[in-house]
Amino acid sequence: MSAATVFGLCSAAAAGLGLYGLIVNPEPLRKIIAFNLLGSGIFIIFGVVARRGAAAALGADPVPQALVITGMVVAFSATALAVALVLRLFQGAGSTTLDADAPASAGTDPTDA
């Protein structure tokens, strides 16, 4: 089994785990971690595609590599925005539940007009 095949299977499994975690874990922070897992798994697929495209004395096709670097930065900024939202939600509502019908415990509401 070549590296591409092994890591291709690994990435699909990681993506599946990320999907599972994103759906099942109720805490937003765990969802964010699962999303990062899903994202990194998918980036490995980029790597597999790049490795398969080795040619012209290059070990891997540079285009998917560049796409992944862009994607990683975007994923990090998404994580940062999501984490900031979670922290602010906790500050405002006292809990981080995403369940709209659950009663939120009273928390400080620091927003002023």
Partner 1 sequence: MTIAAALETVLAALILAIAIWTIAARETFAAVAGFVVYGLLLALVWVRLEAVDVALTEAAIGGGLSGVLLLGAAARLRATETRAVMERPDKILRLGAAILSATVAAGLAAGVLLLTDPAPTLASAAATNAAATGLGNPVTNVLMAFRATDTLLEKVVLLLALVGVWSLASDRLWGGFPGPRHQADPLGALAFLARLLPPVGIVVGIYILWAGANHPGGAFQAGAILAAMWLLVMMAGLTDVPPVSSRRLRLVLIAGPGVFLVVGLGGLCFGTAFLAYPVASAKPLILGIEAAMTLTIAVTLGLLVAGAPERRDGQ
Partner 2 sequence: MPYPTPALDGVTTPGGFLVVLSVVVPVASVLLAFVAGGRQAERIALATMPLGLAIAIAIMVALQRTGAPLVYLLGGWVPPLGIALRADGLSAVMMAITAVVIGAVGVFARGDFRVPQGSVEARAPFAFWILLLAVWGALNMVFLGGDLFTLYVALELLTFSAVPLVCLDGRAETLQAALRYLLFALLGSVLYLVGAVLFYGSYGTLDIVLLSHEISAEPTTLVAAALMTVGLLAKTALFPLHLWLPPAHAGAPAAASAVLSGLVVKGSFFIVVRLWFDVMPGLPGLAAAQMLAALGAMAIIFGSVVALRQKRLKLLIAYSTLAQIGYLFLMFPVAFGAGSARLESDGALAGGLLQAISHATAKAAMFMSAGLIYAALGHDHIAGLSGIGRALPISVLAFALAGAALMGVPPSGAYLAKDLLLQAAVETEQWWWAVAIQAGGIFTGSYVLLVLAHALMPAHESVTLRVSVSRVAEATALVLALCSLLLGLVHWEAYLPVALDPLRNPLTFKALSTALWPVLGGGVLAILLGRWGLRPARVALGEAVVAIVGPARRVALVLGSMLECVDRMLRRWPAAGLSLLVLVILFGAAMLGGRL
> Radius of gyration over alpha carbons of the chain, in Å?
19
Residue 106 binds which of partner 2, partner 1, none (CB < 5-8 A, kind-dependent): none
Q: Indicate whether 2 belongs to the interface with partner 2 (CB under 8 A).
A: no
Q: Per-residue x/- marks for partner 2, 7-46, CB under 8 A?
A: --------x---x--xxx-x-x--xx--x--xx--x--xx
Q: Which is nearer to partner 1, 55 or 106 (CB)?
A: 55
Determine phi and psi for 29, rounding to 5 degrees: -65, -40
Would you say 90 and 110 are in contact if contact means Cβ atoms under 8 Å apart? no
**Nearest-angstrom CA–CA distance, 59 and 92:** 51
Three-state DSSP state, 80: helix
Q: How many residues bind partner 1 (CB under 8 A)?
A: 86
Q: Per-residue x/- marks for partner 1, 23-62, CB under 8 A?
A: xxxxx-xx-xxx-xx--x--xxx-xxxxxxxxxxxxxxxx
Three-state DSSP state, 58: strand
Residue 2 binds which of partner 1, partner 2, none (CB < 5-8 A, kind-dependent): partner 1
